[in-house]
Amino acid sequence: MTSFPASVRDGIGFAAELFSKAGRAVVLTGAGISTPSGIPDFRSEGTGLWSREEPMEVASLNTFRTNPEKFYAWFRPLANQIFGAKPNRAHLALAELEGSGRIRTIATQNIDLLHQKAGSKNVIELHGSLATLSCTQCFQQVGSFSYLEPFVEKGEIPHCPHCGAVLKPDVILFGEQLPQRAWFDAQRASRDCDLMMVAGSSLEVLPVAGLPMQALDRGAHLIIVNNSPTYLDVRADAVVQGDVADIIPAIAEQVENG
């Protein structure tokens, strides 16, 4: 059992109380929920992906179209980390809360499939997913595993089995719109929920950062679990700062055990 400061224990207890009273809870997760699984976030100084690379130079749609080799050279170590990652205690706790009916929907900014690996069923992937790849010429979609495994191991850039063009992971790069269906579903869930928990997101990337406001505007309660402040801390019912892999399981334990 993790020992928490009194202020964190109070926040966990209040968050659990809000969950126990909610009937339509939604969770919005960001990169911070996957860092305990060994996947780097984007903005942490020294360790974040964008502390080492200029994002528009390696992870933009324009770069992929004009120089896919440059994109894949940057992407290979990240793909290796993602494929080797396992769900951590926060992912597993959220899956348990969903399984017991406490959570209706998980909307995630992550592409790592860790929520699904943990057992969550109703997951909205706002920034796409590594589960599939799409051809840049004939638009055929294929499952990713048989293509990304040799890419990670040998650096072989995946090509379409139908026309031979380069395959693109179905993740959202800079310069791309969010997947329309996922965005509509996330907005609908945010507007319909009576509780939203933000977990591991700095709420700095629009338009996803605006989803909690849509929930608040319709009277929902808001819980924020993150290791740094967000712009909505002043509007939240409960703000719990710390490691999501410790705090979310503690919330789930109190919810389930009373």
pLDDT tens profile 58-103: 788 999 999 999 999 989 988 888 988 999 999 999 999 999 999 9
Q: Catalytic residue among 127, 159, 162, 221, which? A: 127
Question: What does DSSP assign to residue 206?
Answer: T
- The per-residue pLDDT for range 1-20, each reduced to its tens digit, is 578 999 999 999 999 999 99
Contact 172, 108 (CB under 8 A): no
β-bridge mates for residue 29, sequence order: 108, 199
Residue 127 designated active-site: yes
Phi, psi for 78 (deg, rounded to 5): -65, -45
Phi, psi for 22 (deg, rounded to 5): -80, 150
Q: Which long-range contacts (CB under 8 A, 24 or more apart) does 128-132 make?
A: 128/169, 128/170, 128/171, 128/172, 128/179, 129/170, 129/171, 130/79, 130/82, 130/169, 130/170, 130/171, 131/170, 132/169, 132/170
Helix (H) or strand (E) holding 222: strand 221-226
**Helix-helix angle 145-154:68-84, to 10 degrees:** 100
| Whole-number pLDDT of residue 59 | 82
Q: Is the peptide bond before 207 cis (omega within 30 degrees of 0)?
A: yes
CATH topology of domain 1-39+87-127+178-258: Rossmann fold (3.40.50)
Mean pLDDT, residues 245-249: 97
| Whole-number pLDDT of residue 47 | 42
Going from N- to C-terminal start, the domains of the chain cover: 1-39+87-127+178-258, 42-84+129-171
What dotted CATH number matches 42-84+129-171? 3.30.1600.10
Q: Is the pLDDT of residue 27 over 70?
A: yes
Cβ atoms within 10 Å of 12's Cβ, excluding its own: 26
Is the pTM higher than 0.75? The answer reads: yes
Contact 87, 37 (CB under 8 A): yes
